[in-house]
Chain A
Amino acid sequence: GAVVSQHPSRVICKSGTSVKIECRSLDFQATTMFWYRQFPKQSLMLMATSNEGSKATYEQGVEKDKFLINHASLTLSTLTVTSAHPEDSSFYICSARGDDEQYFGPGTRLTVT
């Protein structure tokens, strides 16, 4: 099946700093990518949908100025958590749609100290 990668897999940052997470579709082009967040023992929560070359669409309650999404090409989307705080600590998962299926990345564990 198609492969979606994320980098980094784990990151620890200090409160107030910004963190960028990359999501790449390795062997297919993805016009649409999705970003999810997952807290411990909870389900995945959709944060935003991004289309290549256009602004992301954020789900209700997700701060667009805090979670900056850039879908610069058909194979790369980035999520930047700006001015991170401990409550932003979570598992961030991206997903890319190719053909008739949607593929998920392995996730990025963010810890804000």
Chain B
Amino acid sequence: DAKTTQPPSMDCAEGRAANLPCNHSTISGNEYVYWYRQIHSQGPQYIIHGLKNNETNEMASLIITEDRKSSTLILPHATLRDTAVYYCIVRPPGTGNQFYFGTGTSLTVIP
């Protein structure tokens, strides 16, 4: 079962930073926070993941609160192509552990 809560939808102006929050107040000590996004009628695309520390890659930054009960995905300069549904997922390590998707946040980037 999904263990995260996200706002159902958000808008962001093109070129501005998009900050997508995720609540995971019941996260366990060994569970990672993953972010994926799904553009309409495509498979989910991996964005970033982290355990405790903030993480950054070429796509986004992930900020995890010190108590790990929430996190924020930051797209620094949103473009129209970033319009998608963004999913925050918590999952323990291990190759057999499943991803359970919640309802995600539908992000619309506005020109």
Stretch at the interface among A14-22, A64-72, A93-101: A93-101
Residues 38 to 64 of chain A near chain B (Cβ within 8 Å): 43-46, 49, 51
Would B95 and A31 count as touching, CB distance under 8 A?
A: yes
Nearest neighbor of A59 in chain B, beta-carbon distance? B98
Please give the distance in Å from B20's CB to the nearest CB on chain A. 15
Determine if B102 and A1 form an interchain contact, defined as CB atoms under 8 angstroms apart: no
Report yes or no: A101 in contact with B49, Cβ–Cβ below 8 A. Answer: yes
Size category of the B interface is: 20 to 34
Nearest opposing residue in chain A for B99, CB measure: A102
Binds A, one of B9-17, B36-44, B60-68, B72-80: B36-44
B interface with A by C-beta (< 8 Å): 2, 34, 36, 38, 41-46, 49, 87, 95-96, 98-104
**Residues of A close to B43: CB separation below 8 A:** 4, 6, 93, 95, 104-107
* Chain A: number of interface residues, binned into ranges: 20 to 34
Chain B residues with CB under 8 Å of A49's CB are 96, 98
Q: Which 3 A-B pairs have the closest CB atoms?
A: A104-B43, A44-B101, A104-B44
Q: List 23 A-B contacts (CB under 8 A).
A: A4-B43, A32-B95, A32-B96, A34-B99, A36-B101, A43-B2, A43-B87, A44-B38, A44-B101, A45-B101, A46-B100, A49-B96, A51-B96, A93-B43, A93-B44, A95-B44, A101-B46, A103-B46, A104-B36, A104-B43, A104-B44, A106-B43, A109-B41
